[in-house]
Amino acid sequence: MTYDVPDSHPRKRSLERRYELEEAASKGLLAGTAMIAHGRGEAFDYLLGERTIPIANEATIQAAIMLKSAVRPIISVNGNTTILAGEELVGCAALLSCPIEVNIYYRTPERISGLVAHLEKCKKIVSIKPPNNWKRSPEEWERAVNNVIILGSFADGLIPGLSGPRAICDVNGILASDAILVPLEDGDRCEALVNMGLKVIVVDLNPLSRSSLMSTITIVDDVTRFSNNLQEKLLIFQRLKREKWDNKKSLQVALDTINETLQSSIK
Ligand code: ATP
Ligand code: MG
């Protein structure tokens, strides 16, 4: 079901994203709890003023550097991330020459193949339009996007220390990687990835979640805004400056920003 939200509606973007998730759920691409997870994120986004806060921008810069400097980076996506930021992350994967692996908490073969097919569709859309700052030819962009491998369908490995289907991953994907971008991760899976020795970059609007607290770099931002921002940063990679990252300190800054936003919102 698609709905036409008038441009004048103050919550147009938020409503349209809900409809996108609703539609994906009706196609069987999302688990029943997907909307609840999204709602928790939306609540925090309200408190942040629905914008990329400065500390999230700084975290995104450090994430871009970490992913570019990795030997085998990977982007791991769940259902919500695929629907809300599939195209943007395909663009990032093209710029990083890395695979995208579909990993879902409530794993069924139908859901995995549906999400993989969705990302293949994203590749087709993204390949025909290079980003604004792309300096090389459109053909080179098309090739870079077409070279992005979508993993997940034939996962043959297990993340150590996790039980059940959510441990399943690809031997040539997550198990072979040294840095992982894993938006909207679940806390104990994040912990298991950190224990594997990976550098873990999480995107989570909740600065207090276990994923946020566990990861190497947490970006307290909406996954779509973040993915757009990451793509922009990857395109100007040479100009980015590496800084020593204290993740706990950055989470405190995000909490302070929420506090300041609240203080100034009702006068
Ligand atoms: P954790 O397992 O890390 O302790 P949790 O159990 O509270 O977190 P989950 O249900 O595992 O949360 O995952 C949902 C998380 O994703 C929430 O923390 C929520 O803030 C975040 N989230 C949801 N939608 C978005 C979004 N669009 N962008 C960024 N983060 C989001
Ligand atoms: Mg969780």
State the pLDDT at residue 7.
86
pTM of structure: 0.96
- Which of 48, 88, 186 has the most ligand 1 atoms within 8 A of CB, as the residue to mutate? 186
Q: Whose CA is nearest to atom 28 of ligand 1?
A: 222
Please, what is the average pLDDT of the chain?
A: 95
What pLDDT is recorded for position 64? Answer: 98
Name which residue sits closest to atom 11 of ligand 1, judged by CA: 186
In Å, how far from its chain's centre is CA 104? Answer: 13
What's the rounded mean pLDDT across residues 65-86? 98
Among protein residues, the one whose CA lies closest to atom 18 of ligand 1: 206
Protein residues near ligand 2, an ion, with CB under 5 A: 186-187
Does ligand 1 have an atom closer than 6 angstroms to the CB of 204?
yes
Q: Which residue has the higher pLDDT, 72 or 32?
A: 72
Q: Mind listing the domains of the chain with CATH numbers? A: 54-265 (3.40.50.12640)
Q: Indicate which residue's Cα is closest to atom 19 of ligand 1.
A: 41
Residue entry with tokens 């600065």? 207
Q: 146-191: per-residue pLDDT in tens?
A: 999 999 998 899 999 998 888 999 999 999 999 999 999 889 999 9
For range 34-53, the mean pLDDT: 96
- pLDDT reading at 49 higher than 70: yes
Q: Compute the distance from residue 211 Cα to the ligand 1 centre, in Å.
A: 8
What does the alpha-carbon distance between residue 22 and residue 16 come to, in Å, rounded to a whole number? 10
Q: What's the 18 CA to ligand 2 centre distance in angstroms?
A: 20
Q: Which ligand is nearest to the CA of 33?
A: 1
Residue 1 confidence class, pLDDT cut points 50, 70, 90: low
Smallest CA separation from ligand 1 atom 22, residue: 41
Give the pLDDT of residue 179: 98
Is the pLDDT reported for residue 266 higher than 80? no
pLDDT at 2 over 70: no
**Ligand 1 atom with minimal separation from the 204 CA:** 30
Q: What is the pLDDT of residues 12-26, one digit of tens each?
A: 888 999 999 999 999
Taking CA 242 as the corner, what is the angle to CA 134 and CA 203, rounded to the nearest 5 degrees? 75
- pLDDT tens profile 191-247: 999 999 999 999 999 999 999 999 999 999 999 999 999 999 999 999 999 999 999
Q: What is the tens place of the pLDDT at every residue in 87-102? A: 999 999 999 999 999 9
Classify burial at 134, counting beta carbons within 10 Å of its beta carbon; exposed 0-12, middle 13-18, buried 19 or more: middle
| Alpha-carbon gap, residue 30 to 81, rounded angstroms | 10
